[in-house]
Amino acid sequence: MKSAIYRGKYILQGLDKITPEMEVDLDRAYEICVGYKNEIPCELCGRCCHQPHIVVLPQEVDKISNAAGINLFEFMTEYVTQTSDGRLLFKKTDPCTFLGSDNKCTIWKNRPEICDEFPFVVSMFMSRVYLAITNHKADILELISYMDDTWPCTGAIKNTIVQKVEEARKQHVQLL
């Protein structure tokens, strides 16, 4: 499937390029998502640490293995796997190997960037906010129905996202 990359890392499936007009709405979607990340305090409940695909950037392997007290060779062979497109992921466990018995991350200050951004500033959520801003018939709550309401953060998103999308749609219409 065709896809375009926004801001160097957000994969937008179904798009083959990003025009300047699309970029304006993508920026609006991005601002909503970043706003959530800044507004909603993570309650450290550990629920999102049961996700299967935790991406590790090449530049993160040293700090994560150090924080975990695992030598680099063991970390790369026992804890990380490489996908066919070259990305590194934690080997699939449920929950994440680094979630402590108290439901807190044992490498919190050195956790992968994706853990800091999830579920707010990630491709899946941002692309759906963008779709809702640009397609006025789209139901944002339906688009993000994959989000688990029992997570404190996603519950707060679902309670406020309709209004945020409505405000962004007004700006979108003004430019048409």
Residues that bind ligand SF4 in the complex, under the rule CB under 6 A: 42-49, 54, 96, 98-99, 105, 107, 111-112, 115, 151-153
Q: Which residues contact 15 (CB under 8 A, 6 or more apart)?
A: 2, 3, 4, 22
Q: Report the nearest approach of ligand SF4 to the CB of residue 150 (Å).
A: 9
Using the minimum distance from each CB to ligand SF4, give the nearer residue, 134 or 160.
160
Using the minimum distance from each CB to ligand SF4, give the nearer residue, 43 or 139.
43
Q: Report the nearest approach of ligand SF4 to the CB of residue 87 (Å).
A: 16
Give the 3-state secondary structure of residue 44. Answer: coil
Q: Report the nearest approach of ligand SF4 to the CB of residue 123 (Å).
A: 16
Q: Report the nearest approach of ligand SF4 to the CB of residue 14 (Å).
A: 27
Q: Compute the CA torsion angle 67, 68, 69, 71 (nearest 10 deg).
A: -100
Question: Can you state the angle between helices 20-39 and 152-175, rounded to 10 degrees?
Answer: 150
Using the minimum distance from each CB to ligand SF4, give the nearer residue, 9 or 47.
47
Using the minimum distance from each CB to ligand SF4, give the nearer residue, 107 or 165.
107
Terminal Cα distance for the chain, rounded: 29
Query: Which one-letter DSSP state was computed for residue 29?
Result: H
- Report the alpha-carbon distance of residue 74 to residue 87 in Å, rounded: 18
In sequence order, what DSSP letters do the residues of 87-136 get, joined into one string?
A: -EEEPP-SS-TTB-TTSSBTTGGG--HHHHHTTTSSHHHHHHHHHHHH-T
Using the minimum distance from each CB to ligand SF4, give the nearer residue, 27 or 148.
148
Q: Report the nearest approach of ligand SF4 to the CB of residue 18 (Å).
A: 28
